[in-house]
Structure 1
């Protein structure tokens, strides 16, 4: 079984189209989208319509929840919501934050217990660090799986637990850096403009993962973000680095 996993598109349709084309040429059995698909100052409506036309298995991220509930919206969610019509909002409302693909594969946006929790990283007052084995185990919340695929952090990683579960984050299709105040101020960044996704594959030896980087024409999206009043997004899209709001 070969599964392509995408996540954190954030309305960046050109990046999504480049990833979809790369997936098509590689050949997979299933495509899964782990959420945070639309939020941001880019192309929420067009991205939603592209995704609605696919036969992919799709999840809700924390930003899908926030788009649907006015009191939870950030500026990025407000911008996306303003582009969406009844059909797109109804589609968002059908999506779940986690589900089982089959008995051995669990999909989630953040962790099995939360759509807003980092799985493989830990946020502390001084920033962000790699999660310990004990922290990862706690965040699994007792889930039994040979493979867990998650998103949310925008950082591509693959970790195998002591019990043999492979946890894979494909990274972000559409936004390669950001800063955030959730829990404590921190920065997440990849240092590259490439769109990210992963292919996970089961063989006789178990599950393995390939973390992939796909180039695309990012200039138009950086220009659009700047035009829509988000120089932080423009910088992240154009460089792969966050422009910190705190020094």
Structure 2
């Protein structure tokens, strides 16, 4: 079994198309998408149409939920941009996405942690740092799921963590946004350091699961220009560089 693992597309159709073209020749059996599909100042409606055509197992992320459910006084600018551009068919597709899924009998898909799309599964955020969490903390967040492989997104950072006596945990990185800053639960910045689209291929072998992380070039300058035209210079900087803009 070979799975192509996508996450955090964030409406970046150009990056998604580049990833789909790259994986087409890699002999994967199935594509899985770990959510945060559309939110952002790029091409959310066209990205929805593309994903609706792709035969992927897709779950929802926190932004997919917020685009549909956040009240007007709470919705953020990226989610608002997206909500204003979706038609009823696209909204219905987004609403149909489950929060988690299991594929290939032993692979759990979640966006953040299994019980919360807002929780980083593999990272800790403190007042001083944003860093890899310890194995005990990760295992606690996963709980008692029997799966041999856990696939998560949300942090946009490619990671592979092997838990002693537990599953392999893989975050493929983000297809569409390589840096951002956030304030919850404490202010922090997440940066990959290059604008390449990212995804992973995981493969079942005789000794378990293994992962290959891939980076894909696309026209990120055009994506950055689109974000800038929408008034989002923060996104434009992140898309063009892989770094969050200076505070």
With normalisation by structure 2, the TM-score equals 0.97
Secondary structure of 1:202's counterpart equals strand
Task: Tell me: CA distance 1:119–1:203, structure 2 relative to 1, closer, same or farther (3 Å).
Answer: same
Equivalence for 1:157: 159
- How far apart are the structure 1 equivalents of 2:70 and 2:181? 22
1:226 aligns to 2:228 (yes or no): yes
Distance 2:171 2:99 in 1: 15
Unaligned runs of 5+ in 1: none
Match of 1:131 in 2: 133
Taking a change above 3 Å as real, the CA distance of residues 143 and 244 of structure 1, as seen in their structure-2 partners, is: farther
1:201 aligns with 2:186: no
Shift in alpha-carbon separation, 1:70–1:165, aligned structure 2, 3 A: closer
Q: Please give the secondary structure, in 2, of the residue aligned with 1:106.
A: strand
Aligned-partner Cα distance in 2 for 1:19–1:97? 23
- State the partner residue of 2:20: 20
- Alignment match, 2:110: 108
The SS at the match of 2:176 is coil
**Could you tell me whether the CA contact under 8 Å between 1:187 and 1:244 is conserved in 2?**
no
Find the counterpart in structure 1 of residue 5 from structure 2.
Answer: 5
Secondary structure of the residue aligned to 1:26 is coil
The aligned residue for residue 61 of structure 2 is 61
Q: What are the superposed Cα offsets for residues 198-232 of structure 1, whole Å, 9 maximum, x if unpaired?
A: 00000101100001101111111100101111111
What's the TM-score, normalizing by structure 1? 0.97
Larger mean Cα displacement after TM superposition, 39-48 or 119-128: 119-128
CA distance in 1, matches of 2:138, 2:246: 27
CA shift for structure 1 position 113: 1.1
Q: What's the secondary structure of 1:224's corresponding residue?
A: helix
Report Cα offsets for 1:57-89 as digits up to 9, x if no partner: 111000010000132521100001111000000
- Which residue in 2 is equivalent to 1:92? 94
How many angstroms apart in 1 are the aligned matches of 2:184 and 2:145?
A: 25
User: Which moves more between the two structures, 150-159 or 97-106?
Assistant: 97-106
How many residues align? The count is 245
Give the deviation of 1:164 after TM superposition.
4.1
Counterpart position of 2:190: 188
Determine the C-alpha separation between the residues in 2 that align with 1:73 and 1:88: 19
Distance 1:28 1:73 in 2: 37
CA RMSD of aligned residues (A): 0.9
Q: In the aligned structure 1, how far is the partner of 2:117 from the partner of 2:29?
A: 26
Determine the C-alpha separation between the residues in 2 that align with 1:36 and 1:70.
15
1:83 counterpart SS class = coil
Residue aligning to 1:142: 144
